[in-house]
Copies of this chain bind each other. A is one copy, B any other.
Amino acid sequence: MTAVQLTAQQRLRHLITLDQLPVDIIQRLFARADALREGWRAGQRSWDTLHGHTVVNLFFEPSTRTRTSFDLAAQRMGADVINFDIANSSTVKGEILIDTLHTLEAMNCDGFVVRHKENGTAEFLARHVRTHAVVINAGDGNNAHPTQGLLDAYTLRSHRPDFANLCVTICGDVLHSRVARSDIHVLRALGIGELRICAPANLLPPTHELPGCRLMDDFDDAVTGADAVIMLRLQKERMTAAHVPSEQAYFARYGLDARRLRLAHPECLVMHPGPINREVEIASAVADGAQSRILQQVSNGVFIRMAVLAELLSGT
């Protein structure tokens, strides 16, 4: 884990990665999300927790869904929101990135939600913060996507709180997936019973990057008895690298369909970070079926992001 994200008192200073994030911080964020979600269910629609704060969405990679989720989270917590559109995002790095950060800090912006295709960008910015401003990693390369990992664990916990007895399977393009990495970190931190990884050989990272995971070649085997299956999105341009000749061939070997799902625990949850490729990595019947928690992940994502913003910015 990066040292930059914790204070000397082990409080959260930035949110860069879930790697080695202390469990009590994770639980604290979940408790915040619980309270916010309960408030929403009871009819509350806005909070003034972040009144006077300004959250900047610094997205150097397009992502309407995640940006909208953070935008809503910040608005509903009472923050001002700036969507900082970056023209030639590929060239924004190093000094230019730092100057942009310091310029926005000088404007008294204090929450930076950062997405960038290069690993380490959020941490790089966090190391250069000069004020009380906080950096939240909204996805850096294939490294980390901590709020997605948190919302995945949070969604799982809502249905199956006893993690020690759970078996979770992650399947797909693990190599390029920051979601998989953050999921592995948070699920292991929370003491998941068994964590299975299934991926085409060419889309699997080196074993040392998957500590505590059980690698399984055959997806049927990997699904059997699982309590939850987290499917990953296949970027179509990576199908060649996977040595899979077609979407149909990929789906046959690594797609989650109704037959495979029947191999799992009868109450097995189906999850996916979205957006889904129907009939590529997941069958529509499964994505839209009774066991799917895909939309609940989206819903929880807003509360998790509200919790993270509040934890980092509110000072309470």
Contacts and interface: CB of A to CB of B under 8 A. Distances in A.
Interface of A: 40, 45-46, 51-54, 62, 64-65, 68-69, 71-72, 75-76, 80, 82, 84-87, 95-96, 99, 102-109, 274-276, 278, 284, 295-296, 298-299, 301-302
A99 B277 CA distance: 10
B72 A103 contact: no
Contact of A52 (B45, B52, B107, B109): B45
Nearest to A53: B45
A80 B302 CA distance: 14
B108 A40 contact: yes
10 contacts: A45-B53, A64-B86, A65-B103, A72-B107, A75-B80, A99-B274, A103-B295, A106-B295, A106-B296, A108-B299
Given A103-B298, A106-B296, 5 more contacts: A40-B108, A65-B103, A69-B107, A99-B276, A108-B302
B68 A84 contact: yes
Contacts of A46: 51-52
A101 B157 CA distance: 26
A80 B278 CA distance: 31
B72 A80 contact: yes
A87 B104 CA distance: 26
A109 B73 CA distance: 12
Nearest to A69: B107
Contacts of A299: 106-108
A90 to B, nearest CB: 16
A209 to B, nearest CB: 30
Given A51-B45, A103-B295, A85 B109 contact: no
Given A51-B46, A64-B86, A276-B99, A298 B106 contact: yes
Contacts of A87: 62, 64
Given A46-B52, A52-B45, A103-B65, A109 B72 contact: yes
List the 7 closest A-B pairs by CB distance, nearest first. A45-B52, A106-B298, A106-B295, A106-B299, A75-B80, A107-B302, A103-B298
Nearest to A298: B106
Given A103-B295, A106-B299, A108-B299, A80 B84 contact: no
Contact of A278 (B82, B95, B295): B95
A68 B96 contact: no
Nearest to A52: B45
A103 B278 contact: no
A296 B103 CA distance: 9
Contacts of A76: 80
A40 to B, nearest CB: 7
Among A82, A105, A106, A302: residue with most chain B CB under 10 A: A106
Contact of A295 (B75, B96, B102): B102
Contact of A85 (B53, B64, B75): B64
